[in-house]
Amino acid sequence: MATSSFDVSTGADLQEVDNAVNQALKELSQRYDFKGTNSSIELGTNEITLHTASDDRLTALTQLLEEKLVKRKVSLKALDYGKVEEASGSTVRQVVTLAAGISSDKARELNKFIKGLGLKGVQHQVQAEQLRVTGKKRDDLQSAIKSLREHDFGVPLEFTNFRD
């Protein structure tokens, strides 16, 4: 009998993040409360840099970005906020890192959770930045997916490559 499998990974859709940043920049240029604050949002590789005049403007800028990300259906769990840094000219900067791939600690936590489900014939292994789950019964795999979705691991989980 053939085995079925699926992959568990994490990460934000970078195209949707790019769209959300562009929408936030457009609104940033039009909002009255950001006039003259030299506020900016810059999208880098797997990170977003927020730059503005003061802490309260940074809070408003963060809220603006989060609103746009939620509208584009990007999970806020994929964001990891760095500490607020003082920048030149009495401005503040904050780097927001985008989650890409499952860390080894999260993979161990997922492994432990899947083992705790007690599903017979279900195996799991870490492959690069994703977790592959295999099993003989499709129903067992589907119940594993359901249980993983219901539990909060602090990262957005994506289930891909479901194969029979």
Q: How far apart are CA 101 and CA 61, in angstroms?
A: 26
Q: How far apart are CA 128 and CA 111, in angstroms?
A: 14
Average pLDDT, the chain: 87
- The answer to whether 135 and 122 have CB atoms below 8 angstroms apart is yes
> pLDDT digits over 113-157, tens only?
988 888 888 888 888 888 888 988 888 888 888 998 898 888 888
- The answer to whether 47 and 38 have CB atoms below 8 angstroms apart is no
1 pLDDT above the threshold of 60: no
Which residues partner with 85 through β-bridges?
93
> pLDDT digits over 81-110, tens only?
999 888 887 889 999 998 878 888 888 888
Return the exposure string of 75-98: e unless at least 16 CB atoms fall within 10 Å of the residue's CB, then b: beebbeeeeeeeeeeebbbbbbeb
pLDDT of residue 77: 87
> pLDDT digits over 33-78, tens only?
888 888 889 998 889 999 998 888 899 999 999 999 999 988 888 8
The model's pTM is 0.77
Q: How far apart are CA 1 and CA 101, in angstroms?
A: 31
